[in-house]
Amino acid sequence: MAKISFREVSKIYGAQAARALAMREAGRSKDEIRAETGATLALDRVSLDVAKGRCQVVMGLSGSGKSTLVRLVNRLISPTSGDVIVDGEPLGVLTQRALRDFRRHKVSMVFQDFALFPHRSVLDNVAYGLSVRGLDRETRHASARRWIETVGLSGYDAALPDELSGGMKQRVGLARALATDPEILLMDEPFSALDPLIRRDMQDELLALQKTLKKTILFITHDLNEALRLGERIAIMKDGAIIQQGTPSGIVSKPADAYVRAFLRTLPERPKPAKKAASRAKNSRQSKRQVK
């Protein structure tokens, strides 16, 4: 069952978006549209289903449209055409009040640059979404402390963001997003600013949490290794369009085109399993004895 559905979604930035959309529907290219109208085709008729309780990764290079796509879900950006549907309801029909409730209760976002309030403590940063809901101080702090402990930051309740490392800041951002108990978690390259070892730790943290929480996660990255590690399904974007989507194993075994194959060349070679290597060596020795 799809929790989130993108249906033929296009997004065009610029004053002549309507003209640019008509040109695209007539088959004109992204470069032609920009040359004639000055408009940028950020998303080009994207269709994608995100299953409930699963982690869907969207990956691509800078400018591929992936960050625009994720911001459609919490309506930070509105599509030029097409529909974004959550739980069977198009987001475009929501009133301003309904949209506020949707953002407060159903969806949370984790940003690449942490987006913490520098003047608030870890405790108050994590509790922020609960304060927006109007929960009393004691209730929101009790909930925030549980999530601070969950992400491994016990004892840092009173610390300010500038007293934390990058990995610790990202844990605060993750705890803040989870504290509101959202059904949908949007993650826009959340670990890309971290050192490799810390990044790996944060991936482990997310995988461990997801085993228990079963959130619907839309995770954005430009790193194929990260996509293969975290994604139950992966969609690869280029020039605003999805060029391949499927399971990690399916994408690795059957890349759709040269662009995807170029990504796959960035993967480290995996050593052959010891058991298989030993079995081959044993068979080779047996063959040699038979020849003798």
The pLDDT assigned to 113 comes to: 82
pLDDT along the chain (292 residues), means of 10: 95 95 94 95 97 96 94 95 96 95 93 89 95 92 94 94 92 93 95 88 92 96 94 96 96 93 80 51 53 47
State the Cα–Cα distance between residues 1 and 52, nearest whole angstrom: 6
Which residue is listed with tokens 């009393």?
136
State the Cα–Cα distance between residues 237 and 244, nearest whole angstrom: 7
Which residue is listed with tokens 């509101």?
180
Q: Do residues 42 and 11 make contact, with C-beta atoms less than 8 angstroms apart?
A: yes
Name the β-bridge partners of 12.
41
State the Cα–Cα distance between residues 185 and 155, nearest whole angstrom: 26
Pick the closest to residue 190 from 207, 213, 169, 215 (CA basis): 169
Q: pTM for the whole thing?
A: 0.87
Q: Do residues 75 and 47 make contact, with C-beta atoms less than 8 angstroms apart?
A: no
Helix-, strand-, coil-residue percentages of the chain, each rounded to 5? 45, 20, 30
State the Cα–Cα distance between residues 179 and 149, nearest whole angstrom: 12
Encoded tokens for 154: 């016990």
State the Cα–Cα distance between residues 14 and 231, nearest whole angstrom: 33
In sign, the C-alpha dihedral spanning 264, 269, 275, 281 is positive
The pLDDT assigned to 290 comes to: 53
**What domains are defined for the chain?**
49-269 (3.40.50.300)
CA-based end-to-end distance of the chain: 61
The pLDDT assigned to 291 comes to: 46
